[in-house]
Amino acid sequence: MARFTSPPNPELFKAQVWALVKQVPPGKVATYGQIAALLAVPGGMDPKDYQAFGARWVGGAMAACPPDVPWQRIINAQGKISLPEGGGRSLQRDLLESEGVVFDDRGRIDLQKYRWSGPPDSPTG
């Protein structure tokens, strides 16, 4: 497997991530891996390599997103907020709760209930 530290075209990848994340409605969440899976594999990449790195790259894109992207709606595959304490975790939780998302006593979101099904034209939408 090749080692990739970033997508072949980082700016294009970030723009694609942000455009997709803008479609996640209030009261729903998506995981980093889910967003990666909904995007096309970047040109010139083996799909297995993309599967290994895509979620991490989505995380990088979300860390640099513009203010009009609802960053708070992207969480990890365990249904938890990935940000550290003091690094925006409380703000992310507050924003999600203000949208009606409920956390359990372990700080998890029920993905069965709150996971976004994807855009209408996606296989899961």
| Neighbour count for residue 4 (Cβ, 10 Å) | 17
The number of domains in the chain is 1
Looking at residue 71, what DSSP letter applies?
A: G
Residue environment code for 28-57, b if the CB has 16+ CB neighbours within 10 A, otherwise e = bbbbbbbbbbbbeebeebeeebbeebbbeb
Q: Domain residues for 25? A: 10-114
Does 52 map to a domain? yes
Report pLDDT digits (tens) over 1-45. Answer: 556 788 999 999 999 999 999 999 999 999 999 999 999 999 889
Residue 95: both structure tokens together: 């924003």
Does 121 map to a domain? no
Does 31 map to a domain? yes
Q: At what angle do helices 47-63 and 10-21 cross, to 10 degrees?
A: 70
Q: How many residues does the chain have?
A: 125
At which residue do the structure tokens 């009009």 appear?
Answer: 68
pTM above 0.85, yes or no: yes
Report pLDDT digits (tens) over 82-108. Answer: 998 888 999 999 999 999 999 999 999
